Amino acid sequence: MRTIAAFLCGIVFSLGLILGGMLNPSNVLSFLNVAGHWNPALVFVLGSAVFVTFCGFWLKKNLSQPLLGATFQIPASRQIDKSLIVGSCLFGLGWGLTGLCPGPAIASFFIFQPKSLLFLLGLIVGTIVFSYRNGVWRYLLRSC
C-alpha cells in the first residue's frame, strides 16, 4: 500500500509540475528574473507548495502516527551548518542558471528535452562523486 501511495503522490507531483509550467526552464528563468521581464506566474506554484506543506504539518500535529507508517520521518538535525548553506547555495545557483531542479528534470526526461537530459547526467555524476567521497559506496557494498 505504501508503494502505491508513493507512486500516486509522484504522479500528482508530476502533474502539478506540468500544469504549473515548471517543466519549461524559460518559465522558471523568467520568474527568477526580477530585474528584467519578470513572469510572476510561478508564485501560484510556490503558494500551492506552501499550502500543501502547511496541510502536512497540520496533519502531523493532529495525528499520532502516519496513515501508512509507524512513525513520522522528521529530520533529527535542526542545526543550520556550513554544509546546509553551501548545498542550498549550489541548488539555487544551479536552478538559476538552468531553470531546472531535480523534480522537473526527471519529469521532463520523459518528454525528451535535451537540456533536462544533460542536467540529469550532471545530477547523476554529482551524486556518484558525492557518494563515493563520503563513503556511501563502501557502506552499500558491505550491506549487500
Query: Which residue ranges make up each domain of the chain?
Result: 2-143
At 3-34, the pLDDT tens digits run 899 899 888 888 888 888 888 888 888 988 88
CB 55 within 8 Å of CB 127: no
pLDDT of residue 50: 94
- Tell me the C-alpha distance between 26 and 116, whole Å: 12
From residue 129, give the alpha-carbon distance in Å to each of 15, 27, 76, 134, 138. 31, 30, 25, 9, 13
Place of cell 563515493: 132
User: Residue 110 is placed in which grid cell?
Assistant: 520523459
Contact 32, 96 (CB under 8 A): yes
Regarding pTM above 0.75, the answer is: no
pLDDT at 55: 92
Give pLDDT tens digits for 83-133. Answer: 889 888 988 888 888 888 888 888 887 777 788 888 888 888 888 887 777
* Helix/strand/coil for 121: helix
**CB-based burial of residue 29 (10 Å sphere; 0-12 exposed, 13-18 middle, 19+ buried)?**
middle
Cα angle: 119, vertex 125, 131; to 5 degrees? 130
Cα 50 to Cα 44: distance, rounded to the nearest angstrom: 10
